[in-house]
Amino acid sequence: MRRLDEASLPDLASLYGVTVEELQAAQRRSFGESAPTPEPVDSSGPQLADTLSELMEARFPDSRPGAGELAAAVNQKLGAEVLKAEQVDALLKGASAEDIFDDGARTVVFEALGAYFDVSPMVFHNGQSAQKRVLEDIRFLAAQHDVALAARGGEGGISPAFLAVLNKLLADDEGER
């Protein structure tokens, strides 16, 4: 029953996917203080449009391709149709990927865009930090392999069993390359 350390607030807010203000408001409420609930920040939509625009500008500094040209180029790179011109157009106009693609398609599209622009697909997951996604994936792997994630009941770092799983996955991946 103590207040959060001010220095930890940005990291905690990022971990929970909220703003520092939202976290502080929740803390005040937990101590019985009145605190207005801040409006949640919408981190979808324009951020993805901005990311795509920046990548396009960097790749095509002289003449930016249209939505149809970008969709065709991405599809050609992958040898499969994963993007349509109207989807690219909607993304560039600020629509969120969640509104355009279901979860599976969104993953494929982000992978395709990442391959085309030679960046990690994680740059397109604007509502979620790469760190949070990696941690979620690590928890998923631990559960899939039925191993403890951390040593000594959650303290002291990664458990030897989970480290062995990660080493095997890395070795297998290197063998496939």
For the stretch 134-170, pLDDT in tens is 777 787 788 888 888 776 656 667 888 888 888 998 8
Distance CA 41, CA 1 (A): 28
Half-sphere exposure of 85 (CA within 13 A, CB side): 6
Q: Name residues whose C-beta falls within 8 Å of residue 49's C-beta, 6 or more positions apart in sequence.
A: 91, 92, 93, 94, 95
Same domain, 73 and 94: yes
> Dihedral angle at the C-alpha atoms of 63, 64, 70, 73, nearest 10 degrees?
30
Distance CA 82, CA 79 (A): 9
Q: Write down which residue in 124, 148, 166 finishes a domain.
A: 124
The amino acid sitting at 91 is: L
For the stretch 19-30, pLDDT in tens is 788 778 888 877
Domains contained in the chain, number: 3
Same domain, 26 and 2: yes
Is the CB of residue 116 less than 8 Å from the CB of residue 73? yes
Half-sphere exposure of 131 (CA within 13 A, CB side): 7
Residue 88 CB neighbour total at 10 angstroms: 24
Same domain, 64 and 112: yes
**For the chain, what percent of residues have pLDDT higher than 70?**
84
Same domain, 35 and 82: no
Same domain, 151 and 94: no
Instruction: Give pLDDT, residue 84.
Output: 93
Mean predicted lDDT score pLDDT of the chain: 80
For the stretch 79-114, pLDDT in tens is 889 899 999 999 888 888 888 888 778 888 888 898
Domain that holds residue 160: 130-176
Same domain, 56 and 119: yes
Query: Which of residues 18 and 146 earns the better pLDDT score?
Result: 146
Helices (H), 18-159: 20-30, 46-59, 67-78, 85-92, 97-100, 103-117, 130-144
Residue 82 CB neighbour total at 10 angstroms: 21
**For the chain, what percent of residues have pLDDT higher than 90?**
9
